[in-house]
Each structure stands twice: as structure tokens, then as C-alpha cells.
Structure 1
Amino acid sequence: MQDDVERVLLDETAIRGRLAEIGRQITEDYADEPPILVGVLKGAVMVMSDLARSIDLPVEMDWMAVSSYGAGTRSSGVVRILKDLGTDIADRHVLIVEDIIDSGLTLSWLLANLRSRGPRSVEVAALLRKPEAARIEIDVKYIGFDIPNEFVIGYGLDYAETYRNLPYVGVLKRSVYED
């Protein structure tokens, strides 16, 4: 797998350190009323695991799976729910945990969907954000890193369902996904 990586963008130490910082901030911000963490499958699995362990509160976790990519490298803008929440979020603080915010289209749809369910609040924590790729401006409360508009893999991020298990975030060589 390493042969397909052009370069490492963020190593495991940097990622875990930043998630620990975000976890401490979430602990302070939600000290009186812990949020339910909603992880977005499949990419947010690694982020959710490390972030949840760094929050010193009794948080609940649930998962949603939404798709707007297919096997490609760009968002299609058409969102489908593949797995919905199993928890009622009415009158609860909800913290969406994302691996990456790219165009913002999927997250914008997800925010509207969750807000329609009557939560007390809905905020977003994302490991990565690509400001140059944004097509919709999204208010993100907790951001790990702003990164360039390159195709990244690792730490939960994939290309065609592979590379998720890399312990770092790397830039995928163009030769892997371009004909």
C-alpha cells in the first residue's frame, strides 16, 4: 500500500495529538450535558474511536452511513442513507464526527436531516477539511486540520474501499486512480 502513497500529509502522532486537543475542548464545552456522537461510516471509524477515547464524559455513540461518492474520487452531490441512526436524538446535543469535509454537499444534507429530528443542537467535528474544495460553506465547530485539495487516504479514508487501515493520512498517487 505504501507504494501507492505519494507522500504522508499527517502522521499518526500529529493526528492523535490533535484529536486529543479536540477531545479536551469537547469535554469542556459539553461538561453539563454530554452529546451523542454520530459517526459517519465508514470513513469516520478511526476518528470516532480516537476522539471518543479522548472525551472525558459519558458519551453515547451511534452511526450513520450516507453515500455520495460511489467508487469515484469526487462527490456526486446525490446523498443516500445506507444506515440510519438507531437512537432518538430529539432534545439531545448531537455531535457529528466526520473524517473529511470536501465539497460540503453531503454534510450540508446530513445537517439538515438531523436538525429536522428535533435535537437541542447539532455541531460538527471533522478531522480534515479541504477549504479549496468547498462548494457549500459549513460551520464546523471542531476542525483537526485544513488540508490542500488533494485526494487523501488512510486513517479511515479510502479509495475504492482500500487504504483505510493506513495509520496516517497520505496523498494517493494519481496513477492509482487515473487511467
Structure 2
Amino acid sequence: MKRIKLLDKEFALSIPASDIKKALWEMASKINAELHDKNPLMICILNGSFMFSADLMKLIDFPCEISFVKLSSYEGMGSTGKVKQLIGLNEKIEGRTVVLLEDIVDTGVTIEKLIGQLNAQNPRDVKVATLLFKPDACKRNVELDYVGLEIPNDFIVGYGLDYDGYGRNLPDIYTVIDY
């Protein structure tokens, strides 16, 4: 599909599934090379990262754990600037390498807050793997260790990302064209 409609908005195809798969392979190769002997705990940030995390984990070629946290900072098409933690981490991370699996880093507020919370628990290292990064939207100085694709500061849906809950199931990523 070249165009889709979700609720009251029109979207055009911007990143096909084949480009996403290529980015995942490149990220997994780097993670496999750098973390194979670190016993990392992968942390999927729900809801948006569920597809990215599942597909990336299938490409990791060493034993590791995965856990989940649920954070919220978006309403409609924009960030509220406030991060709400809806489900927290149960695992002990002291002395461990932790890899945050994030679907998209735009303002950097969510990832910065989560890194701060995790660092208070004395992990050995906190790394960030994000499928998508919007450098023009980033307002925080956050280190991103594994970046799949850099994209413009547009509103997007698909592959886990949503517009008011819709569009997460799409295998491709679409950009809003109708504001």
C-alpha cells in the first residue's frame, strides 16, 4: 500500500519493510559482535517497541534475557513532554549490561529519563538500541549505541508506532500527509 488512512489522517509509505529488515540485520550484527560475552538484559520499551524488539531478538545469536517496561509520553500526534511509567522493571540490574530497545528516539526525553532511573540501580553499562532516530527533534544529549535509521522530524506510524492506538500492525512505516 502506498497510502493509508487511519482515523482522520492520511499517510504515505516512507520506509518499506525491506529497509527495516536491512537496518535490523545491521544492528544485530553490531550487537552480536560487541555484546556476545556481556550477558546483557534487553529491555523492550512498550508499546511501540514490541515489533522491533521481537524481530531484533530473533537475530541475536547469543543467550540473553529480555524484559519489558511500559512508558507513555505521547498523546495523539505529539509528545506531552512528560514520561509516565505504567509497568516497571522487576529484574535486578546491578552490575549488568542493559540494552534499552526503543522504537524511536525523537525528543530524547523518554530515553533520558529511563537511563537515569536505571543508572540509579548501578548497572555495569546502559546501552540504547533504537530502530529510528529523529536528530532534528532531539532536545537531549543522549548516547545512542545502535541506530537503525535516521529519519526526518515527521509524524510516522507502522511497525509498532501508532496514531492514537492505530497502525502498530503495519509491516511498513508511513508518514502523515494530511494534518
Q: TM-score range by the shorter chain?
A: over 0.9
Amino acid across the alignment from 1:3:
I
Q: TM-score, normalised by structure 1?
A: 0.93
Conserved 8 A contact 1:98-1:125: yes
Candidates 5, 8, 14, aligned match of 1:9: 14
Whichever structure has more helix as a proportion of its residues is 1
Q: Which moved more, 1:71-80 or 1:112-121?
A: 71-80
Partner secondary structure for residue 79 of structure 1: strand
Deviations 1:10-64 (CA, angstroms, capped at 9, x unpaired): 1111101211111111111012123111000000000000111111011100000
Please give the secondary structure, in 1, of the residue aligned with 2:82: coil
Structure 1: 5+ residue stretches without partners: none
1-side partners of 2:48 and 2:130: how far apart?
Answer: 11
1:7 and 1:73 map into 2 onto residues whose CA distance is 16
What TM-score do the two structures reach when normalised by structure 2?
Answer: 0.93
Corresponding letter in the other structure for 2:160 = G
Q: Mind listing any 5+ residue stretches in structure 2 that lack a counterpart?
A: none
- Code of the residue aligned with 2:111 in structure 1: it is L
State yes or no: 1:155 paired with 2:156.
no
Find the counterpart in structure 1 of residue 130 from structure 2.
Answer: 126
- Residue 116 of structure 1 is matched in structure 2 by 120
For residues 104 and 138 of structure 2, what CA distance do their matches in structure 1 show? 11
* RMSD, aligned α-carbons: 1.3
Matched-pair identity in %: 36
Measure, in 1, the Cα distance between the counterparts of 2:82 and 2:172: 29
Structure having the higher strand fraction is: 2
Which of 144, 169, 177 lines up with 1:173 in the alignment? 177
Please name the residue that 1:72 is paired with: 76
How many Å separate the matches in 2 of 1:85 and 1:74? Answer: 26
User: Residue 91 of structure 2 aligns with which residue?
Assistant: 87
**What letter is aligned with 1:173?**
I
Tell me the CA shift for residue 6 of structure 1: 3.1
For 1:123, give the aligned amino acid.
Answer: K
The alpha carbon displacement at 1:68 in A equals 1.3
Matched, 1:50 2:51: no
Corresponding pairs, count: 174
Work out whether residues 4 and 12 of structure 2, in 8 Å CA contact, stay in contact via their aligned partners in 1. Answer: no
**Is the CA contact 1:24–1:56 (under 8 Å) kept in the aligned structure 2?**
no
Larger mean Cα displacement after TM superposition, 45-54 or 3-12? 3-12
Kindly indicate whether residue 149 of structure 2 is the aligned counterpart of residue 145 of structure 1: yes
| Distance in 2 between residues matched to 1:114 and 1:40, nearest whole Å | 13
CA displacement, residues 116-161 of structure 1 (integer Å, 9 cap, x when unaligned): 1111100000000111111112110000000001000000000101
Please tell me whether the aligned partners of residues 99 and 128 of structure 1 are also in contact (alpha carbons under 8 angstroms).
Answer: yes
Partner amino acid for 1:165? Answer: N
TM-superposed deviation, 1:174: 2.8
